[in-house]
Structure 1
Amino acid sequence: MRVNVQALLLFSVFVVATCGLVYELVAGTLASYLLGDSVTQFSTIIGVYLFSMGIGSYFSKFFHKNLVAWFIQVEVLVALVGGFSSTILFLLFDRVASFQIVLYMLVSLTGILVGLEIPLIMRILEHRYEFKDLVSKIFTFDYIGALLASVIFPLVLMPHLGLLRTSYFFGLLNAGVALWLCFYFTKEIRGINYLKVSCVVSILCLLAGFVLSDRILAFTESLTYSDKIIHSVQSPYQRIVLTKNDREIRLFLNGNLQFSSADEYRYHEALVHPGLNSVPNPKKVLVLGGGDGFAVREVLKYASVEKVVLVDLDKAVTDLFSSYPTLTVLNQKALHSKKVTIINADAFKWLKDQNQEQFDFVVIDFPDPANYAIGKLYSNTFYKVLRAAIRPGGAVVIQATSPFVAPNAYWCVVNTLASCGFKTLPYHAHVPSFGDWGFVLAAPDKPVQVNSQFLAQLKFLDKPTFEQMRVFPKDMPARQTEVNKLNNQALVHYFEAEWANYLN
């Protein structure tokens, strides 16, 4: 039985809306991965996309004849531009001088094409419905499609397909609808064979991209990373890439270096041991972040420690560092210890809503506050919740970015802790892969007193070294900053401005 033409075109509206929003979400996600600052990227991309849809809607008035044929051609173009957009962006990142111009050009082109489609469908259907019914039906299907895209993108598409396959999949949907329309309107469109061929070729190209997306991504990453990639995976939260050369293994999350096996011990010894030395006979330790297990490895060097709780958002990271042989050698199978409990959850929510314990020592090894989602984990609200999880006489240590590159960001962390009643002890260490790196040791009730005797087995840290780490030279003096609050995210602004200035 032949499908009703109205139903077919309304279904096309649904597909157009769903695919269009998915392309927008893919571009925003990819931009936040590659450029950072997810709020800015999503805000500007949404604005550019909606503005471009307005331009497309305006241009639709210049189409007078063969509206169905024009709609099919536009649908094919949307399929190709949207389907290949993420691949183009991955390929060109770090290889063009103005990556953002390419990004916004693709977003604009997609928006213009999608903006053309809805008015064209409305004009195709204008003689089949009363105006009020036409507007009602068109926008009902449009908004339902947008809702579906916004729900399935984070819950289904990103975890199971990833960015490239998601783009190709929805490109196939666009091209499939175009081909369906070709067969439906075969007798009504001149040059229909040309349209059918263009639809079929587009589908074959997009299908090839979908099937080969892993190879395409591996190729683009091989251009980005100078060393051999030995493992890469897309988690629901980030792109995880491991590289290796003759000297070291490196971990990158969304393109940002997280550690080098050549010198990570400097970072993790500096992070863990001064604080644990300040707590007499520590038994229970909480590690927030640090899914690589390196901080846990250092904690387990203390015989008095009976329990370690590791809370890390990304299960893909903790699974990788629990199972990948090269990595378990580096962290000395710390995540397999019977003393260790691994919890994959948002640290803020877990600490606020689920934790019922107090700990002798807390290690906070979150990523740098490069966006608002991470910045909340450095806020005064978070530190007030944290206080309740530290027993009297306990302490906490926080990695706090570079006091040399981003002094305002570093001292903002110190000042935010102090505003919550913590007694702070700032210090820094040189880690060759990162440069001068800052930490803050703090206690909720009294000044921290670090024991001068460090474990003899440590490679880097000893009494003279730590005494030197506490000294900030003249070009890194303490400074007054705003307190980082949820409603101002001052830390994220400091961090972005200072690192951008340093890198440029």
Structure 2
Amino acid sequence: MDKRLPALLLISVFVVATCGLIYELIAGTLASYLLGDSVTQFSTIIGVYLFSMGIGSWLSKYFDKNILSWFIQIEILVGIIGGTSSTLLFLLFEHIASFRILLYGLVSLTGILVGLEIPLLMRILQDRFEFKDLVSKVFTFDYIGALLASLIFPLVLIPYLGLVKTSYLFGILNVAVALFVCVNFKREIPAAGYLRSASIISIFGLLVGFVYSETITSFSESMSYNDTIIYSKSTSYQRIILTKRGKVLRLFLNGNLQFSSDDEYRYHEALVHPGLTALPEAKNVLVMGGGDGLAVREILKYPQIQSITLVDLDAGMTSLFQKNNMLVELNKGSLLSPKVKVVNADAFTWVRNQQKKFDFIVIDFPDPSNYSVGKLYTNSFYSEIKGLLAENGIMVVQSTSPYVAPRSFWTVNKTLESVGFHTVPYHNYVPSFGEWGYIMAMQRQHYKKPVQFPAGLKFVSKESLDQMFYFPGDMTKVETEVNKLNNQVLVKYFEDEWGAVL
């Protein structure tokens, strides 16, 4: 036997481990895209996957004969199922009532097959290494492969390949391992020719899927949206979808509607003008989130504003709204203004390194549907950002719906109050979203409702502002807890309240 084969088999361990973790990450990411961007999705997917791997490892003891042959067949199956799983889930999402059964079924099947791989490989290698060397080498390559997968998945694979193409690529790698073993151990494998042909055919099929993955993704996404998709891209942080029907543009992040161009002005006018109009001397403004530039568009209607700092995590988002002609027209080129500085950074860490004071701060983050966003609604974050607000300044926070999610809305209010802010809650109606809420916060209670607004506003006026500050009985204040980093009660409130109506 070729003396290089044991070393090459250890490389196979590395490839198998990398592929296995990639499938797990794909399943978790896909679940968050389709079922809601929540830590719950990743937690349950990881739990089911690891449990299934344990079942696979336990089942490996029943494979007594023709271990090489079994290993090759399992690698082919893992490659086919893992490689095509994202395509199947995307295509069937809109057509299967019990989608979670299909999702967890595929995750379980993949996990069982992946759980079989390493035990079988160790038995193949047991006559070629001493036991202590075998264990150390196999698990060293296994863990290195896992590390590589965890690094390249968010940094390289999702931004540049996307979920579907990544699935096919690693399916090809799995089957390539099967083909390698089949070719190099053909004398020890019954029906080696058959298995070699099966490997080659599987690689070819997965390669076709890889080449046409963009077509597959576009087709599957077109079934999930009522309007025509004109732009789609996966960044390191989210899936961005832009649709169009007639003149109406709609932006979706991870499947969640962010705005509709026919009524977004109601949201953004209400977000900016009740606070900023009350600050005639405001010069420096901070916008956190709002990478679409629509809040910045409203702020630029005030000629006294000298500088606007926009902090948004996703460079893919801000770049899109700086370069796409339709979107630049929608935000009036706000992100290209010389007054605007765009910073792509995590707001939670960014605020800790700032000393500049801002007269007006807009917090326009996505809804707190997961812990990574929920941390931006905690008392810890508000304590940090309080230091950036000028003594006579005003901050406004988008705070979800006080009608659909009253506990969520009033939790934001209570959390702001817990760090010493004086708050002024208000709301308005946006047809695409329903009743929506905002909270103004300030160092001291100095807010006076403005009586005059910039020319050209479509919605905000003295009369509409009076309605915004009135909370009827079905939106009155409710008792909640403070949202803290160590409890994140807001995320639970949000999931419970919105989950009941979606």
Please give the TM-score of this superposition, normalised by the length of structure 2.
Answer: 0.98
2:496 matched to which residue of 1? 497
Question: 1:151 Cα deviation (Å)?
Answer: 1.8
How big is the shift at 1:350? 1.1
Q: Write the deviation string for residues 387-424 of structure 1: whole angstroms up to 9, x where unpaired.
A: 11111100000110000000000000011101111111
Where structure 2 has 5 or more consecutive residues not aligned to the other structure, the ranges are none
User: Contact 1:442 / 1:448 at 8 angstroms: preserved in 2?
Assistant: no
Partner residue in 2 for 1:301: 301
Counterpart-to-counterpart distance in 2, 1:149 and 1:435: 41
Q: CA RMSD in A?
A: 1.3
Give the Cα separation in 2 of the matches to 1:346 and 1:126.
48
Q: Which segment drifts farther, 148-157 or 386-395?
A: 148-157
Aligned counterparts of 1:14 and 1:265: Cα–Cα separation in 2: 52
CA distance in 1, matches of 2:382, 2:15: 45
Aligned to 1:313, the other structure's residue is in SS state: coil
Corresponding letter in the other structure for 1:160: Y
Aligned-pair distance for 1:3? 5.6
Counterpart-to-counterpart distance in 1, 2:497 and 2:184: 58
Partners in 1 of 2:273 and 2:17 — Cα distance? Answer: 54
Matched residue of 1:317: which SS? helix
Contact 2:429–2:435 (8 Å) recurs in 1:
yes
1:247 CA drift (Å): 4.8
CA offsets 1:181-219 (integer angstroms, 9 cap, x no match): 111012222211110111011111111111111111101
| 1:50-199 equivalence runs, <5 A | 50-199=50-199
Separation in 2, partners of 1:36, 1:433: 19
C-alpha distance in 1 between matches for 2:216 and 2:446: 54
Matched, 1:411 2:419: no
Distance 1:456 1:333 in 2: 19
Question: Which whole-Å CA distance do the structure 2 matches of 1:314 and 1:138 have between them?
Answer: 38
Please say if 1:398 is aligned against 2:397.
Answer: yes
Which residue number corresponds to residue 462 of structure 2? 463
Q: How far is the alpha carbon of 1:149 from its aligned partner?
A: 1.2
Equivalent position of 2:17 in the other structure = 17
User: Displacement, 1:315?
Assistant: 0.9
Alignment-mate amino acid for residue 415 of structure 1? K
2:395 and 2:471 map into 1 onto residues whose CA distance is: 21
**SS at the partner of 2:240?**
strand
Distance 1:136 1:307 in 2: 58
After superposition, where does 1:200-215 map in structure 2 within 5 Å?
200-215=200-215
* Residue matched to 2:381: 382
2:486 match: 487
> 2 CA distance for matches of 1:311 and 1:488?
26
What is the CA-CA distance between 1:275 and the residue it aligns to? 0.6
Code of the residue aligned with 2:131 in structure 1: it is: F
Q: Distance in 2 between matches of 1:343 and 1:44?
A: 34
Query: Match of 1:234?
Result: 234
Map 1:22-33 onto structure 2 (within 5 A).
22-33=22-33
> Match of 2:412, as an amino acid?
V
What pairs with 1:418-429 in structure 2 (closer than 5 Å)? Answer: 418-429=417-428
Structure 2 residue aligned with 1:369: 368
Paired residue type of 1:110: T
Structure 2 distance, partners of 1:312, 1:62, is 53
| Contact 2:232/2:240 (8 A) holds in 1 | yes
Cα offset, 1:154, TM superposition: 1.8
SS at match of 2:277: helix
Q: 2: distance between equivalents of 1:479 and 1:500? A: 19
- 1:36 alignment counterpart: 36
Q: CA deviation at 1:347?
A: 1.1
Give unmatched runs, 5+ long, in structure 1. none
Q: Quick check: 1:309–1:340 contact (8 Å CA) kept in 2?
A: yes
What is the percent sequence identity of the aligned residues? 62
Distance 1:339 1:496 in 2: 38
Cα distance in 1, alignment partners of residues 309 and 140 from structure 2: 48
Conserved 8 A contact 1:297-1:332: yes
**Residues 37, 372 of structure 1: 8 Å contact kept:** no
- My pick for the range that moved more, 19-28 or 144-153, is 144-153
Work out whether residues 37 and 254 of structure 2, in 8 Å CA contact, stay in contact via their aligned partners in 1.
no
Letter in 2 for 1:405: V
Q: CA deviation at 1:155?
A: 2.0
Aligned to 1:445, the other structure's residue is in SS state: coil
What's the secondary structure of 2:360's corresponding residue?
strand
**SS of equivalent to 2:209:** helix
Q: How far, CA to CA, are the matches of 1:223 and 1:482 in structure 2?
A: 40
- 1:37 to partner: Cα distance: 4.5
The residue type equivalent to 1:487 in the other structure is N
Say which is worse superposed, 332-341 or 407-416, in terms of deviation. Answer: 332-341
Q: Aligned partner of 2:118: which letter?
A: I
Q: CA deviation at 1:95?
A: 2.1
SS in 2 for 1:321: helix
Cα distance in 1 for residues equivalent to 2:6 and 2:341: 57
Partner of 2:260: 260
Moved over 4 A (4+): none
Letter in 1 for 2:9: L
- Equivalent-residue separation in structure 2 for 1:153 and 1:206 (angstroms): 19
Q: What secondary structure does 1:329 align onto?
A: helix
- Larger mean Cα displacement after TM superposition, 301-310 or 240-249: 240-249
The residue matched to 1:187 in structure 2 has which SS?
helix
Deviation at 1:170, TM superposition (A): 1.0
Q: Take 2:445 and 2:247, find their aligned partners in 1: how far apart are those partners?
A: 43
> 1:433: which partner in 2?
432
The Cα offsets for residues 55-95 of structure 1, whole Å up to 9 and x where unpaired, read as 11121122121110110010011111111111111112232
* 2:337 counterpart residue number: 337
